[in-house]
Amino acid sequence: MKGLNTKKVIITGAASGIGRATAQRFYQEGSEIILIDMPPIEETELKAMFPERMTYIQGNVTNKDDLAKIQTEMDKGFDVLINNAGITRDATIAKMTDDQWDSVIAVNLTAVWKLSQMAATKLKELGKGGVILNAASVVAHYGNFGQSNYVATKAGVIGMTKTLAKELGKSGIRVNAVAPGFIGTPMVRAMPEKVIQMMEEKSPLKRMGEPEEIAAAYAFLASDDAKFISGTCLNVDGALVIG
């Protein structure tokens, strides 16, 4: 896609699922990729997948020292930040612990805000515009049983995205969110076959999505083909949520 071969792209949560597929897509497009995730690189397949144009930062996006490592990398210059890392800690409101609430808020919302702040500051300084993309979810639009913490973060991410688009537009920085539906990452594929079938039946396209289909949305929104798109949340869900 237009312009991606000249871009340096930072992706959080890149060792698994959607993040890994996104790294793969940008790599294929010729981008330089900076990947962030928690396992040591030896425990991932990333080295073999990306023999060149790849830097791995082992770190936790909620940890101050690790954020400092990411800042050092940002200081070398970059074009795109994709806030993909996310977690679930499901429980109904009656059973949810403070820890379950706090940990999901820390990764899915506070870290997205902090990394966006770091990125915006640096991109403004570099003065050549840039792109920030955030992982939302379709559950932000309609709620989900047992996920008050997760849904609150994803709805928060959409609001933050719109606000940052307004604040950063004059610096040529575009900010968008992607809201995946039911996507066949390892976590989802491990669910009971009955649940998967039920979810597929609910979808007008009668299937779950693939991580590569979310990666494609990130690639489009980061590319120069999307240079007039900012402040939006793109649902990539096979029409699971309409309206």
Binding characters for ligand NAD, 133-172, by CB under 6 A (x = yes): --x-x-----------------------------------
CA angle 43, 44, 50 (to 5 degrees): 140
State which residue, 62 or 171, has the beta carbon closest to ligand NAD. 62
Contacts with ligand NAD in 109-138 (CB under 6 A)? 135, 137
Query: Which residue's structure tokens are 């992706």?
Result: 11
Q: Toward ligand NAD, which CB reaches closer, 173 or 240?
A: 240
Spatial CA neighbour of 141 closest among 19, 233, 18: 233
Gap between the Cα atoms of 136 and 46, Å rounded: 24
Q: How far apart are CA 100 and CA 107, in angstroms?
A: 11
Binding to ligand NAD in span 5-44, by CB under 6 A:
12-13, 15-19, 36-38
Cα 126 to Cα 149: distance, rounded to the nearest angstrom: 36
User: At which residue do the structure tokens 């609001």 appear?
Assistant: 159
Instruction: Indicate which single residue of 54, 81, 107, 175 sits in contact with ligand NAD (rule: CB under 6 A).
Output: 107
Number of residues that bind ligand NAD (CB under 6 A): 27
Q: Is 238 in the site for ligand NAD (CB under 6 A)?
A: no
C-beta closer to ligand NAD: residue 30 or 186: 186
DSSP annotation of 77:
-
Active site residue 27: no
27, 56, 150, 218: which is the annotated catalytic residue? 150
Length of the chain: 243
Distance CA 213, CA 197 (A): 20
Q: Which of residues 170-229 bind ligand NAD (CB under 6 A)?
A: 180, 182-183, 185-188
Q: Do residues 118 and 71 lie in contact, with contact meaning Cβ atoms separated by under 8 Å?
A: yes
- Determine the Cα–Cα distance for residues 222 and 152; give it in Å rounded to an integer: 25
Nearer to ligand NAD, 38 or 96 (CB): 38
In the list 4, 34, 85, 123, the residue contacting ligand NAD (rule: CB under 6 A) is 85
Under 8 Å between Cβ of 228 and 200: no
Which residues make up the interface to ligand NAD (CB under 6 A)?
12-13, 15-19, 36-38, 60-62, 84-87, 107, 135, 137, 180, 182-183, 185-188
- Residues with catalytic annotation? 150
